[in-house]
Chain A
Amino acid sequence: MALCIALPAIAAAVGLGGLEAYRLATPDAPLFGDPQPRSLADAITRGRGVEAAYPFIRDGQDPNALISIDDEDYTGGGERSCSPLIAAIASRDSNIVQMLVNFGARLDRPQNRDAWCFAGALGDETMQNVLAAAGADTDPDRCPRRDWDRSQAPLTWFH
């Protein structure tokens, strides 16, 4: 009887111990999360979240430097270059946008200047608010007079 009642505790102890030993040996195993993406562009476009994107910035990648996106969902086909900030807006990940702003992305740089307008074109009001709070120019008259067709990939708005 004692062994039976203690069985859940034994199973939990062995299971937890085993899982952590496995984590130590194989930290990249799918059981503990997705493997670290190969690039900042991958981290952003594959929806891997701010935790996956930040290590690239921490390791010295310039948050204002252009990155190549080769993902049909974003470019509509083919490869395009844009800033990480624009890519993060296209992915609608406000956490990555905030992280980039925190760690050096400049909203006054040419590659980021239309960030607020782009978020507006995507109809993403939350993102616009995030960018406005970060100091983006929120004058709508400044925005390029381009509509965005929702059936198209977001980065096509720039071309």
Chain B
Amino acid sequence: MASATNSRQLARPPEPHARVWTFAVGALALPPLLILCWTLWRAPYPLSEAVSLFEDVAQRPVSSFLVPTTSYYRPLFYVGLSTLWHGAGSIDRGLALIKLLLHILPLTVLVVAFIANLRPRSALDAAAATVATAVLIGSPGLLDNLELPLSYTLVGMPIAVIVWMLLERERRSWHGPLILALTIVALGFKEQGLVIVPVIVLAWWMGAPGIGRGTVVSIAVVAIAYVIFRLAYRGAWPLFEQDVGFGFERLSSTDAAQRFGAFPLWIYAYSSLSTIANVLFAEPTDGTFRIVRAWVEDHSQPWHFVYLFSSVATTTLIAWWGATVLRRSRRSPESRVVMAVVMSLLACGVLSFNYSRPRLGGMAVPFYALAAYHAIRAVEYRAAISRRLIAVLTTAALIVLAAAWQARAIYTIEFTRQRAVNAHREWLTDLSRRRANFAGRRGYLQVMDAMTEQGTARRPVPRVRYPKWMLNLLGED
């Protein structure tokens, strides 16, 4: 009893220097954030994804993006691209603005808002915040969403954090309209924005102070209208849009349709669970158990263990902390974080029923990292009042966990660099083939020619040649 009281007292340290600790955590997050932003700025748009996308933007009237003609519906993303493409004055300026406003800015806002939301008030809080920030940057759900120019979910992720901050602040008259507007923007960039809706509804139901019933009803109506609209305009969606991972194998959409077409619900459930499990356990990826397969086939890599250990340990801590918090109260800010993680994961899973990719778990990543902060913080405070041996062992375990997530955060940087190098190489090697293949599409060739300079002029920042042992710990080549 005395211990629990002490723990609660420690959980609210009287230290008045929240701003100092927040800045300290921000300062530690600055190098990886700046390097990521610089890498994105220097990276060329890829030839394979970007040219056809910009061809659409160059040729179609902006209003045409509002009508769903395929299963991919991202109206505000395309409206944003079109506005910047046509309004920037030159293609180079347009491309630079797209990179700046739709990639670098959202990434920066995500990390800054995340740390501001944590608002650590003590050294122990700050230590937990550094690990949580590494969880955010090192998660595959973020890494996979850093691909140029596909910023659909990268815009939604900071919106999720800002909405969460507004939900947990004292209510102001502008909260409701702003939360509604942000939800619509996230939704307009990609259907993954829907993840915010159940999080908002549940937070309100659990007593979040920053939102009223009217806003919740408005957001629910918008979400329902959106879903009805999408279903009404769905046309003929294919059974599987992309390759589907299953077990140790990856099936083409055609093969998947042949194998699971008669009753696809099981594979849909599998893909949904895969996306959730990827956030929680780093496995499977794309629906494929690559780490388990490597272990079975006896060619495991050190990074497999780094990924599994860091994710499983963090998820275990979150589960332990979440159960404790929910037992204590169902309407506390911390219990709302627990339910936000659960709800965002479920929503990400449902929305990725067709195929699983790490990027489809992106909207749950800020909530997962937020929960990681609270869980690690709870462990720290418990260790602080424990016997010396337990405190030392707990600290040692947390150092290993923190180091594993830092390795994953560094891998996010290195992978983004490699992606830029690959895009540059593609421009150098693939132009003739594309010119031949797309000879009948004048618009495509015009856009490709206009973008060739940005694709070839500058050599992207290459990866650091870390020692082999470190590369083995960071991640796959």
Q: In the complex, which of the residues B130, B376, B459 contacts A51, with contact meaning CB atoms closer than 8 Å?
A: B459
Interchain CA distance A9-B27 in the complex, whole Å: 10
Q: With A4-B395, A8-B403, A13-B30 as given contacts, are A95 and B428 in contact (CB-CB < 8 Å)?
A: yes
B402 and A51 contact, CB distance less than 8 A: no
Interface status of B410 (Cβ within 8 A of chain A) = yes
Q: Which residues of A contact B (CB under 8 A)?
A: 1-14, 16-17, 19-20, 23, 30-33, 50-51, 54-55, 58, 95, 98-99, 101-102, 133-134
B380 and A13 contact, CB distance less than 8 A: no
Spot the interface stretch: B159-167, B237-245, B430-438. B430-438
B430 and A3 contact, CB distance less than 8 A: no
Q: In the complex, which of the residues A1, A17, A101 contacts B395, with contact meaning CB atoms closer than 8 Å?
A: A1
A58 and B127 contact, CB distance less than 8 A: no
B429 and A32 contact, CB distance less than 8 A: no
Q: With A1-B383, A3-B127, A6-B130 as given contacts, are A99 and B31 in contact (CB-CB < 8 Å)?
A: no
B429 and A102 contact, CB distance less than 8 A: yes
Interface status of B123 (Cβ within 8 A of chain A) = yes
3 cross-chain pairs, A with B, having the tightest CB-CB distances, nearest first: A9-B130, A2-B123, A5-B127
Please indicate the chain A residues that have their CB under 8 angstroms from the CB of B410 in the complex.
12, 16
A9 and B380 contact, CB distance less than 8 A: no
Query: Which of B121-144 touch A at CB < 8 Å?
Result: 122-124, 126-128, 130-131, 133-134
A1 and B406 contact, CB distance less than 8 A: no
Interface status of B282 (Cβ within 8 A of chain A) = no
Looking at the assembled complex, report how far the CB atom of A41 sits from the nearest CB atom of chain B, in whole angstroms: 18
Interchain CA distance A50-B32 in the complex, whole Å: 28
Interchain CA distance A23-B38 in the complex, whole Å: 13
B432 and A134 contact, CB distance less than 8 A: yes
B30-47 interface bits toward A, Cβ cutoff 8 Å, 1 = contact, 0 = none: 111001000000000000
What DSSP secondary structure best describes chain B's contact surface? helix
B432 and A12 contact, CB distance less than 8 A: no
Interface status of B413 (Cβ within 8 A of chain A) = yes
Please indicate the chain A residues that have their CB under 8 angstroms from the CB of B403 in the complex.
8
Please indicate the chain B residues that have their CB under 8 angstroms from the CB of A17 in the complex.
31
Q: In the complex, which of the residues B126, B432, B465 contacts A2, with contact meaning CB atoms closer than 8 Å?
A: B126
7 contacts between A and B (CB under 8 A): A1-B384, A2-B126, A11-B406, A19-B464, A31-B464, A51-B421, A101-B432
Interchain CA distance A8-B399 in the complex, whole Å: 7
Please indicate the chain B residues that have their CB under 8 angstroms from the CB of A7 in the complex.
399, 402
B9-53 interface bits toward A, Cβ cutoff 8 Å, 1 = contact, 0 = none: 000000000000000000111111001000000000000000000
Please indicate the chain A residues that have their CB under 8 angstroms from the CB of B456 in the complex.
54, 58
User: What 14 additional pairs, Cβ within 8 angstroms, besides A51-B421, A51-B424?
Assistant: A1-B380, A2-B122, A2-B127, A6-B28, A6-B130, A8-B402, A10-B28, A10-B130, A12-B406, A13-B30, A32-B465, A95-B429, A99-B428, A102-B428
Interface status of B409 (Cβ within 8 A of chain A) = yes
Interchain CA distance A54-B429 in the complex, whole Å: 10
Please indicate the chain A residues that have their CB under 8 angstroms from the CB of B409 in the complex.
12
Interchain CA distance A85-B241 in the complex, whole Å: 40
Please indicate the chain B residues that have their CB under 8 angstroms from the CB of A8 in the complex.
130, 134, 399, 402-403, 405-406
Please indicate the chain B residues that have their CB under 8 angstroms from the CB of A4 in the complex.
127, 395, 398-399
A102 and B431 contact, CB distance less than 8 A: yes
A13 and B28 contact, CB distance less than 8 A: yes
B433 and A5 contact, CB distance less than 8 A: no
